[in-house]
Amino acid sequence: ADAFNGAVAGAKALNAFIIETPDHAIAAAEAADRARAAGELLPLSGVPLGIKDLFCTAGYQTTAASRMLGGFTPTYESTVTAKLFAAGAGMLGKLNLDQFAMGSSNETSAFGNVVSPWRRNDGGNAALAPGGSSGGSSSAIAARIVPAATGTDTGGSIRQPAAFTGIAGIKPTYGRCSRFGIVAFASSLDQAGAMAQDVRDSAILLEAMSGFDPKDSTSLDVAVPQWEANLSSDLKGKKVGIPKEYRVDNMPPEIDALWKQGIEWLRDAGAEIVDVSLPHTRYALPTYYIIAPAEASSNLARYDGVRYGLRDLPEGANLQEMYAATRAAGFGPEVKRRILIGTYVLSAGFYDAYYTKAQKVRALIARDFEEAFRQVDVLLTPTAPSAAFALGEKSADPLEMYLNDVFTVPASLAGVPAMSVPAGLDGQGLPLGLQIIGRPLDEQGVLNAGLAIE
């Protein structure tokens, strides 16, 4: 009992959950018992999932880790969680995240940062970031509190936390999973995806989450393949591209070495390795950090103190003053920064110079991938330019934080599927991930290459 209590206390210290919902998980477990007795088990019968608290869950508070949504309990279910529950899964709790999914370390949450269960083996005990924004998901899976969890990825929020915590995470093709009922950050980039301990579990979860939804106008009306049944690490006849632009300055030699090791693993699995070029990669970060805040500033205009969550109505305030007081109290500093940047790049005098230009560069980045996928089936890169950093190490400098997204944002801008798989440990014993990027709708190719690596 002591050990168990210790483990529970340890789990709580990670701060991965915003709320725990054992009633929901228990109901699913009981339904699974009945289904088993009747011989009618579903693909996820009884599986207790963590749900990133960006997914609206009917009857359970949904916060996006922001004070702004304090007291908001959705009356409807997001399509993704509805599909998971229809497949038999239960919800063990709503998982912490960066506020409105803006961040790379889970330090922007109004509910406090999440802690990674990993420690460096240097004898120090620095608490490490679990990555972000799906940091509650990565931490809870890495600590074995849940077998799998939902994530969302706008510029890397599934892949980078997966890499930091030694788990697998896949962002499918834009439009594979419905965005209905997911709190919007940057609608042209937001995509739900699966996080789990390994590639196979990710495939099972993604299969249950995906599918056309008439309630999301960008949802793709295509069938969901049987990814798990078709998993194969035999890559004979496949070509893997190595994009030379992903070799950046200051990258730890261990990450470069792991990348080379990954190339060897894929070669051993039968793949042919080809050098490719994605010439506009260097513009991906600035492009992302114009488009994402622009869309965020527009999406977040709905939080006015009237319709959702928080209302701050100072004595005698008029409507404008209520808006201002509510937004000042409700949004955290990173969210305010994004709204300011987004409003600036969309403003009359600067729209063409920033927003229109960024859209043009986005098209060039997408074209780079199209060109590359004429030569190869998938691309292999590191997931992030570093292993997990310490909490507080980058939070004072937003640019420093944004740079950590350098390898994940290009696939988001192009809308193509991408996955991080656990590939090894660095010299301090911390996990490192490798990223596989695939053609639109070729999640199978991504998962299969992932399987050959893990």
| Catalytically active residues, by annotation | 52, 133, 157
Closest CA to 408 of 435, 432, 447: 435
> At its nearest, how many Å lie between ligand GLN and the CB of residue 322?
29
Rounded Cα gap, residues 81 and 197, in angstroms:
19
From the centroid of its chain, how far is CA 278? Answer: 23
Q: How far is the CB of 92 from ligand GLN (least distance, A)?
A: 22
Taking the complex as a whole, how short is the minimal distance between the CB of residue 97 and ligand GLN, in angstroms? 8
C-alpha pair distances (Å), 130 with each of 50, 115, 134, 142, 162: 15, 6, 8, 9, 8
Binding residues for ligand GLN, rule: CB under 6 A, are: 101-104, 133, 153-157, 185, 292, 405
Distances (CA, A) of 156 to 105, 160, 189: 11, 6, 10
Q: Which of 152, 233 has the CB closer to ligand GLN? A: 152
Smallest distance from ligand GLN to CB 348, Å? 25
Q: Which is nearer to ligand GLN, 185 or 407 (CB)?
A: 185
Closest to ligand GLN by CB, 153 vs 213, is 153
Distance in Å, CB of 131 to ligand GLN, minimum? 9
Identify which of residues 46 and 415 has a Cβ nearer to ligand GLN in the complex.
415
* Cβ nearer to ligand GLN, comparing 368 with 405: 405
Cβ 338 to ligand GLN shortest distance, Å: 8
> Please, which residue, 305 or 342, has the CB nearer to ligand GLN?
342
Nearest to 454 by CA among 271, 274, 261, 276: 261
Q: Strand order of the sheet with strand 17-20?
A: 17-20, 90-95, 48-52, 148-153, 191-196, 168-171, 418-425, 431-438, 378-382, 239-243, 272-276
Which H/E stretch holds residue 259?
Answer: helix 253-268
209 Cα distance to chain centroid: 14
Shortest distance in whole angstroms from residue 443 CB to ligand GLN: 18
Q: Which residues pair with 272 in a beta bridge?
A: 239
Residue 53 vs 405, nearer CB to ligand GLN: 405
CA-closest candidate to residue 381, choices 159, 157, 103: 159
Q: Which residue is nearest to ligand GLN (CB)?
A: 157
Whole-number Cα distances in Å, 269 to 236, 238, 447, 451: 7, 10, 14, 10
Angle between helices 357-375 and 284-299 (to 10 degrees): 120
Task: Record the tokens describing residue 190, joined without a space.
Answer: 């937001």
Is the CB of 186 or the CB of 242 nearer to ligand GLN? 186
DSSP 1-20: -HHHHHHHHHHHHTT-EEEE
Between CA 373 and CA 284 the distance in angstroms is 18
**Tokens 């972000």 map to which residue?**
132
CA dihedral sign of residues 181, 185, 186, 190: negative
The residues that bridge with 182 in the sheet, in sequence order, are 55
Q: How far is the CB of 103 from ligand GLN (least distance, A)?
A: 5
